[in-house]
């Protein structure tokens, strides 16, 4: 296995080419079979290109966490190639950007009447700005001009933003719109799992920082919150309407919903609950001071 994973053909730019060129070929093939003489056809191509791109941002999101939780040659290969996996996502999103440009210029009336929604525009623009920054700073010539903190802000922050946008789309498809498709479920749970792995990896790192065990009460509360988060993740349709109504009843919150990306965070509540549970579960009780230390 290690020898295969070290092969130059599935690492670095060769891996990128191995994925990006077939991905583009599939988009072009679909384009030849879609009627793009009207706005509806171009809109279909927007959705198609996104569906090809989304798995790669989920893979990039989970790479470091997988290696923390399951260290080994596969995890090292995955983490080593995270940059190129992310660039494959960028290729798919470049196709989407092209189709959005065509739709919003050539078929502007259709775009305004059928597609345009201000908050979606904000979320999408926010994501594209981060994506552009991540691409521009993926190369040594630009990376060396940034401090480590600046580079990390662009790439870590961008990964979270792009994951968050993609994940929220499939959460809403699953738990708000009627008749979710099988692919919606696959992508929803893939996105959920990618972030859940990061929570678990964060918890594992916290456990290594101290030898003092958390209390039984903290462990119980932590596991209950994690279990509650998992239940919420699987039952969004049962609580979405009530939670959205409760969260947007205050006037200030209703105003935020109009322009603040992702507010009021319904897709992420289950993961926030799991993160809180992990924080409590891995919180270390203060060790009592010994008599020698006290003196």
Burial group, residue 44, by CB count within 10 angstroms (0-12, 13-18, 19+): middle
Secondary structure class of 50 (helix, strand, coil) = helix
Residue 280 contacts residue 288 (beta carbons within 8 Å): no
Instruction: State how many domains the chain has.
Output: 2
User: In the prediction, which pLDDT does 190 show?
Assistant: 98
Q: End of a domain among 183, 208, 233?
A: 208
DSSP secondary-structure letter at 266?
Answer: G
Asked whether residue 198 is domain-assigned, the answer is yes
Whether 240 and 172 share a structural domain: no
Whether 135 and 30 share a structural domain: yes
User: In the prediction, which pLDDT does 212 show?
Assistant: 59
User: In the prediction, which pLDDT does 293 show?
Assistant: 42
Whether 148 and 239 share a structural domain: no
Least confident piece of the model among 8-12, 83-87, 92-96, 209-213: 209-213
Q: How far apart are CA 62 and CA 243, in angstroms?
A: 28
Whether 177 and 247 share a structural domain: no
> What's this model's pTM, rounded to 2 decimal places?
0.91
Q: End of a domain among 176, 208, 240?
A: 208
Whether 146 and 131 share a structural domain: yes
Asked whether residue 230 is domain-assigned, the answer is yes
| Structure token digits, residue 87 | 């660039």
- pLDDT-derived band at 285 (thresholds 50, 70, 90) equals low
Residues 182-217 have pLDDT tens digits of 999 999 999 999 999 999 999 999 988 765 567 888
Residues 51-60 have pLDDT tens digits of 999 999 999 9
Asked whether residue 294 is domain-assigned, the answer is no
Q: What is the mean pLDDT of residues 249-274?
A: 92
Residues 221-238 have pLDDT tens digits of 999 999 999 999 999 999
DSSP secondary-structure letter at 253?
Answer: H
Asked whether residue 295 is domain-assigned, the answer is no
Q: End of a domain among 189, 208, 227?
A: 208
Asked whether residue 129 is domain-assigned, the answer is yes
Structural domain of 86: 2-208
Q: How far apart are CA 79 and CA 63, in angstroms?
A: 5
User: In the prediction, which pLDDT does 175 show?
Assistant: 97
Asked whether residue 46 is domain-assigned, the answer is yes
Judged by phi (left if over 0) then psi (alpha if -120 to 50, else beta), residue 186 lies in alpha
């Amino acid at each position: 296995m290690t020898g295969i994973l070290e092969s130059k053909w599935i690492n670095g730019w060769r891996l990128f080419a191995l994925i990006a060129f077939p991905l583009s070929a599939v988009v072009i093939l679909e384009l030849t079979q879609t009627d793009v003489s009207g706005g509806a056809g171009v809109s279909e191509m927007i959705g198609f290109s996104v569906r090809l791109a989304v798995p790669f941002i989920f893979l990039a999101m989970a790479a470091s966490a997988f290696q923390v939780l399951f260290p080994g040659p596969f995890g090292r290969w995955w983490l080593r190639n995270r940059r190129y996996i992310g660039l494959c996502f960028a290729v798919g999103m470049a196709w989407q950007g092209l189709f959005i440009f065509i739709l919003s210029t050539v078929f502007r009336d259709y775009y305004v009447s059928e597609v345009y929604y201000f908050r979606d525009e904000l979320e999408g623009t926010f994501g594209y700005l981060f994506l552009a920054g991540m691409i521009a700073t993926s190369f040594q010539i630009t990376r060396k001009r940034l401090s480590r903190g600046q580079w990390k802000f662009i790439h870590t922050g961008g990964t979270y933003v792009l994951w968050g946008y993609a994940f929220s789309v499939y959460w809403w498809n699953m738990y708000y719109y009627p008749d979710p498709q099988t692919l919606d479920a696959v992508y929803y749970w893939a996105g959920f799992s990618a972030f859940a792995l990061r929570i678990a990896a964060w918890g594992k790192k916290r456990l290594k920082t101290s030898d003092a065990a958390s209390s039984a009460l903290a462990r119980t509360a932590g596991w209950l919150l994690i279990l509650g988060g998992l239940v919420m993740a699987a039952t969004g349709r049962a609580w979405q309407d009530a939670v959205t109504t409760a969260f947007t009843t205050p006037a200030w919150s209703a105003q935020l919903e109009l322009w603040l990306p992702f507010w009021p965070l319904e897709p992420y509540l289950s993961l926030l609950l799991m993160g809180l549970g992990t924080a409590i579960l891995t919180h270390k009780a203060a060790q009592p001071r010994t008599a020698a230390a006290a003196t």
